[in-house]
């Protein structure tokens, strides 16, 4: 069992991770990986246990701190469940979008990039929620939906899946992600001269891919860039 040392030298068990960390595939897992962002998709818990996958189509990513707000109790009854994301690239891949309240500037930037990338009028929050929900899940199920898109058209910050493993696209490389964070890297398919054909199994919803392609400045953990050299 992991231990932490308190003042005075007394060792105590480290806190046991709860199943409130989100993977790029949108799964909820219990890993000790710290989160750069919080967020929610409704009330998912009963007591201190996660009992449902989502509670609607509103999936957002929030700032850890906002106007002196803090989270004194993770498991408040009748309150949305706090979820945590390693970085924003993971959150976007999972199908979440920036919160319009605590991340107003990011929300506006995402909305504008969505409109530019898809060639549409700036959408309402409800329109984005509905479209993202259709893109991230197979209708009528909790099964993750992925999308076949050309490698050559994918921008940095997108997650793909190869052999069941989620990988972040960064330059001419792919960086593996696990519950321990970013790790091994490999060459991006189609990164050589004269290549670029073929389709990737893309995890990040296509509307968000379009927003990233249009220049939305996604936050990516520094460890991914270190891993990618």
Distance, in Å, from the CA atom of 85 to the CA atom of 21, rounded to the nearest integer, reads 6
pTM given for the model: 0.89
Per-residue pLDDT of the chain (229 residues; tens, 9 = 90+): 344 444 555 555 556 778 899 999 999 999 999 899 999 999 999 998 889 999 999 999 999 987 665 555 788 888 899 999 999 999 999 999 999 999 999 999 999 999 999 999 999 999 999 999 999 999 888 899 999 999 999 999 999 999 999 999 999 999 999 999 999 999 998 754 333 459 999 999 999 999 999 999 999 999 998 865 5
What is the extent of the structural domain holding 219?
A: 3-227
Number of domains within the chain: 1
Count CB-CB contacts under 10 A for residue 195: 12
Contact status, residue 30 vs residue 21, Cβ threshold 8 Å: yes
Distance, in Å, from the CA atom of 54 to the CA atom of 228, rounded to the nearest integer, reads 33
DSSP symbols for 20-58: -EE-TTS-EE------SEEEESS--EETTEE--S-SSS-
Q: What is the pLDDT of residue 14?
A: 58
Exposed/middle/buried for residue 16 (C-beta within 10 Å: 0-12, 13-18, 19+): exposed
Q: What is the pLDDT of residue 17?
A: 78
Count CB-CB contacts under 10 A for residue 154: 20
Q: What is the pLDDT of residue 136?
A: 96
Distance, in Å, from the CA atom of 175 to the CA atom of 167, rounded to the nearest integer, reads 5
């Amino acid at each position: 069992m992991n231990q932490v040392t308190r003042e005075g030298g007394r060792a105590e068990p480290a806190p046991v991770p709860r199943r409130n960390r989100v993977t790029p595939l949108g799964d909820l897992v219990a890993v000790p990986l710290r989160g750069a962002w919080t967020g929610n998709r409704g009330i998912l818990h009963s007591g201190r246990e996660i009992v449902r996958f989502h509670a609607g189509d509103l999936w957002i990513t929030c700032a850890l701190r906002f106007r002196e707000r803090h989270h004194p109790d993770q498991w408040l009854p009748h309150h949305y469940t706090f979820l945590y994301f390693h970085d924003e690239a993971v959150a976007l891949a999972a199908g979440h979008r920036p919160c319009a309240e605590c991340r107003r500037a990011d929300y506006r930037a995402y909305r504008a990039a969505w409109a530019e990338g898809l060639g549409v009028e700036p959408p309402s929050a409800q329109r984005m929620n509905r479209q993202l929900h259709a893109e991230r899940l197979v209708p009528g199920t909790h099964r993750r939906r992925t999308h076949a898109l050309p490698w050559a058209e994918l921008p940095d910050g997108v997650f793909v899946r190869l052999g069941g493993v989620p990988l972040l696209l960064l330059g001419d490389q792919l960086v593996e992600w696990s519950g321990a964070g970013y790790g091994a890297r490999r060459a991006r398919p189609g990164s050589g001269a004269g290549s670029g054909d073929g389709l990737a199994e893309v995890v990040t919803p296509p509307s968000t891919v379009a927003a990233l392609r249009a220049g939305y400045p996604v936050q990516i953990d520094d460890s991914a860039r270190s891993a990618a050299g």
